[in-house]
Every structure is written in C-alpha cells, then in structure tokens.
Structure 1
Amino acid sequence: MPFIKDRSSLRSALFLDVGNVFNTNCRENQVNCFGVDAGELRYSVGIGVTWLSGFGPLTFSLAKPLNASPIDEREVFQFTLGRGF
C-alpha cells in the first residue's frame, strides 16, 4: 500500500473457521439438545489483512461460507479496530 511506509506493519492471513451454536436449555420435544451434532457444524474460508497502525491494529477480513443454512445470518466482511479480549 503506497501510504504505508513500514511494510513490516502489514500482516495477512488465510483462515478456515468451523463452529456450531447449540442450546443446553432443552424442552421435552427437542432432539439432540444436549450434544453437539457434527452435522450442524458450519464452515467458512477467508482472507484477512491487519495493519499495525499508530491507533492500534486495523483488521479487514473477507469470508465465504461453505455450507451455510438458509436461516444462518452471514457476515462476509468484517472490520476490527484494536485487539480482542
């Protein structure tokens, strides 16, 4: 990037995320509520760029869901300022 003088302050990443959300507050008519069902795992791949700026790290990520369900909320682009806790 032309406006970044110190190129060592740039980081890039490729990632594969796998995850699931489940509920342990079950009702009588719910099936597989207490266990993780591997068939319900969601996968995504993506790329990210982090710039270690004077304000803190600025991270931009792009992701593509590989097996999203029609009811899933999708977040393709993400921007983060600062570090995670």
Structure 2
Amino acid sequence: MKTFESTIRPVKGDIIDDPGFDARFHNGYEVVKVTINYETNECYVSLHPLASNLEEICINDYIDKLAANEWRIVSKEELLTY
C-alpha cells in the first residue's frame, strides 16, 4: 500500500507507474477498482494482482525496492477496513 495526495483520479484500465515498480518482475500495474470515500475525502485504487510471470529478480529484492519507494506491506485485517 502507498498513500499520497493527488488531483488525478484514476479509472479502471489506467496503468499506474511508480519508481518502486520494476519491469523485471511484473508486466504492468493496471487499475482494476477505484473506491471513493467522500466522507473521509479518500480514494482507494486497487491494482491487478501481482503475477510474477516476468520474475527476473528475487521477490525479496522487489519488496525491498517497493519499501524504499514508500510502499508498505499491510495485513489482511487492515485491508478489510478499507
């Protein structure tokens, strides 16, 4: 999960780019769901599940790269609260 402020509202089918993503591990980051919470002024964007069909680097190296770019691992319980 990564949190940031933006004036752009993604829509299903958009491709998200981020410095934490690595083309050597995954083939794209397509938006599959957008949930807007007007009460909290938040927009949650769900990406296509990770499919490691281009696994040219170790998953642990990839997770380290994501973490270095402000992505974080969340628990299943935390995901259910969104």
TM-score > 0.5, shorter chain as reference: no
Task: For CA contacts below 8 A with separation 6 or more, give which structure has more relative contact order.
Answer: 2
Structure exhibiting the larger radius of gyration computed from Cα positions: 1
TM-score (norm 2): 0.34
Q: Larger % of strand: which? A: 1
Q: Larger % of helix: which? A: 2
